[in-house]
Structure 1
Amino acid sequence: MNRLLGSALFAVLLSGVFACSSPERKLPIYGERSTVEKEVDGKVQVDTVYQTIPDFAFLNQDSVLLTQDFFKDKIYVANFFFTHCPSICPTMQRNLLKAYEKYKGNPKIAFLSHSIDFKYDQPYILKDYANKLGVDNDQWQFVTGTKQAIYGMADKYLVYTKEDASVPGGYDHSGYLVIIDPEKRMRGAYDGTNQEQVDKLLEDLDVILKEYQ
């Protein structure tokens, strides 16, 4: 079941919006932030430190350990799903496929889908799923891990996930597609089941590509 951003998450996302002095549009930076002071040429400067995605290590669809090194210098879109999801996942993944097909072959763009079904979605299951979806290169990675690792990572992306036997499929989660920049910062969150939001994702990927061209 998809869920709207809760009030707390919404407040966090709004706190990430920043003013840009450049006339060219840039995406906001989401998440918590802090400030640090440093001395440069005898003068104290205040820098902003933004929330970033921590290092990770998950098994991918080829049974290969995937780490953040794969996404070095890349912009990527992350989400959370499971292969036998009877609710939002089919729509969300088909919509993400539109982004994959648009940017297929672009070395600056990648995609990362985390399975929240740590019991069933083994690498060979993810491989079969990827093939049936139409993914035929390593630009889109599908990963699995322990419940603690996957669900803990979802929290870092500000994505709701929960094992819940009372809902169809046994897992409850939101369908957000999250843009991560090469500096590991969150730059956008889009409802993957909403066509207008998916169109916005495609538009914003073009914007952030210009920022890092």
Structure 2
Amino acid sequence: MYRIVFLLLSSFLLWGCLEKKPEPLALPYYNEPDFTPLFIKEKSDVAKKVTHKIGNFSLLNQDSIYITHKNIEGKIHVANFIFTSCGSICPVITKNMKIVSDTLKGNKDIVFLSYSVTPWIDKPFVLKKFKERNSIKNPNWQFLTGNKSDIYKLARQSYFAEENIGFSKDSTEFLHTEHFILVDRAKRIRGIYNGTLSLEMQQLIEDIKTLEKENLSL
């Protein structure tokens, strides 16, 4: 009798273990241009240990409307750096960003920012045509242009756009990177992805969903 009861209890415990789904892993934070991941277990430690945030900016979008840092406050955003005359990686990374955008286009709290690295060419009307040519309909995807120095400084010092160089590269040197940068609601960098690889877009989508579950106070 005791043996039967023991076997039944063991079965229930085993079934419970099988049914319990593992908690998703928290995404790391990034404080430095070399993208060394910083994993933090306690939420109370985030403010003390994570010092880097995306800086302030004010740039024109494809509709000649100013988009600033205030437009991303309290929102998750993904940033990349393109130029409309690029014939190499830009068409690929735009296509891959569109995969993510189309998957999440119903969510107003997810913003996509594509900064032009040739702003002297990519005026708002040029960016508007580029957006139309690529059939991009997500109203939360902004193509941004403005002062070259401002964009390059933001790219290198805030987004660490060229992760193996960071802000040490001279601001006059041409900026060209395939990376997508994932930023949380508090403007902290949480992920870097190779925009030329469609497989990494699936990971980016999953990571965005993970960030959506995080406490807004972070």
If the TM-score is normalised by the length of the shorter chain, which range does it land in? 0.7 to 0.9
Which protein shows a greater Rg? 2
- Cα 1:137–1:194, aligned 2, differ >3 Å: closer, same or farther? closer
Q: What letter is aligned with 1:29? A: Y
The alignment status of 1:30 with 2:30, answered yes or no, reads yes
Maintained 8 Å contact 2:31/2:50: no
Q: Which moved more, 1:182-191 or 1:200-209?
A: 200-209
Amino acid at match of 1:120: I
- Answer whether contact 2:72 2:185 (CA < 8 A) is retained: yes
Structure 2 residue aligned with 1:124:
125
Where 2:48 maps in the other structure, the secondary structure is strand
Shift of 1:137: 3.9
| Alignment of 1:142 onto 2:151 | no
In the alignment, structure 1 segments of 5+ residues that lack a partner are 1-21, 33-45, 165-170
Matched, 1:71 2:72: yes
Partner of 1:62: 63
> Distance between the aligned counterparts of 1:47 and 1:163, measured in 2?
34
Show the counterpart of 1:175: 178
Q: Which runs of 4+ in 1 moved over 6 A?
A: 161-164
* Stretch deviating more after TM superposition (92-101 or 172-181): 172-181
Q: Which amino acid letter does the alignment assign opposite residue 210 of structure 1?
A: K
Distance 1:184 1:113, change over 3 A: same
TM-score scaled to structure 2, two decimals? 0.74
Greater helix percent: which structure?
A: 2
**How far has the Cα of 1:163 moved from its partner?**
6.6
Q: Deviations over 1:114-165 (max 9, x none)?
A: 000022100000011111112224210000011110100111201139776x
What RMSD over aligned residues (CA atoms) do the two structures have, in Å? 2.3
Equivalent residue for 2:43? none
Match of 1:17 in 2: none
**Which residue matches 2:161?**
159
Q: For this pair of structures, how many residues does the alignment match?
A: 174
Q: In 2, distance between residues paired with 1:83 and 1:202?
A: 25
CA distance in 1, matches of 2:24, 2:148: 41
Aligned match of 1:53:
54
Q: Provide the TM-score with structure 1 as the length reference.
A: 0.75
- Give the Cα separation in 2 of the matches to 1:127 and 1:212: 35
